Amino acid sequence: MSRVGKKPITIPDGVEVKISGQNISVKGPKGTLGFDFHWDVEVGQAEKEVRVSIKKVTKETKALWGLTRVLISNMIEGVTKGFEKQLELHGVGYRMAVQGKKLNMALGFSHPVDVEVPEGLEAKIEKNVLAISGIDKQKVGQFAASIRALKKVEPYKGKGFRYVGEIVRKKAGKKAAGAEK
């Protein structure tokens, strides 16, 4: 049985949850999100809570049970508080700027890199930290991962994008490895 799926989801004040067929939509102060859940999963709503259960017990439905509960919980959290990911850019000559809905970056390539900020997300830059925020947790995480993939942290000098608080282990270079003999 799913330990996560058993827990009821409390609906905070100012949030409206509608269930119609296999679709659930959550409306809150920051916006509206929708989700089509699997037909083997049942979602029911009481006064101020949402409960998720399964119709028949199989290995797949056990996994879907907890997943559906977490996705609905993330939707409720997103429309009330929102989500944010922060990326740091390290490296001499590396820079980034927001121009309207575009992110303009110089990442050491022979050309500037322009990335369109997806609909529903917001990008802000303070010094060398890029903050990506929005109401959809999956969109925020996916966009942050795609930006990080443009210039991952290299292990010798530590140049590139990293999440704020991420620890990067640096490798010893050729000189340090050769001097040990």
- What confidence tier does 172 reach under pLDDT thresholds 50, 70, 90? confident
**Average model confidence (pLDDT) across the chain:** 91
Residue 67: which pLDDT band, with cuts at 50, 70 and 90? very high
Does 83-163 match 3-80 at the fold level?
Answer: yes
Q: What pLDDT was estimated at residue 62? A: 87
For 89, residues 6+ apart whose C-beta sits below 8 A from its C-beta are: 95, 96, 105, 128, 129, 130, 151, 160, 161
Q: What distance lies between CA 81 and its chain's CA centroid? A: 14
Residue 143's pLDDT band (boundaries 50, 70, 90)?
very high
The string of pLDDT tens digits covering residues 17-39 is 999 999 999 999 999 999 999 99
CATH superfamily membership of 3-80? Ribosomal protein L6 (3.90.930.12)
State how far the Cα of 124 lies from the Cα of 98, in Å rounded to an integer.
7
**Percentage with pLDDT > 70 across the chain:** 96
What's the predicted TM-score (pTM) here? 0.88
State the CATH class of domain 83-163.
alpha beta
Query: Between these two residues, 176 and 132, which has the higher pLDDT value?
Result: 132
Between helix 59-80 and helix 137-150 the angle, nearest 10°, is 90
How far does the chain reach from its first CA to its final CA, in angstroms?
A: 57
Domain boundaries, the chain: 3-80, 83-163
What residues contact residue 79 under an 8 Å CB cut-off, 6+ apart?
15, 26, 27, 28, 29, 30, 31, 32, 33, 135
Specify the pLDDT at position 177: 58
- Please state which of the ranges 102-106, 135-139, 175-179 shows the lowest mean pLDDT: 175-179
**Cα–Cα distance between 145 and 116 in angstroms, integer?**
14
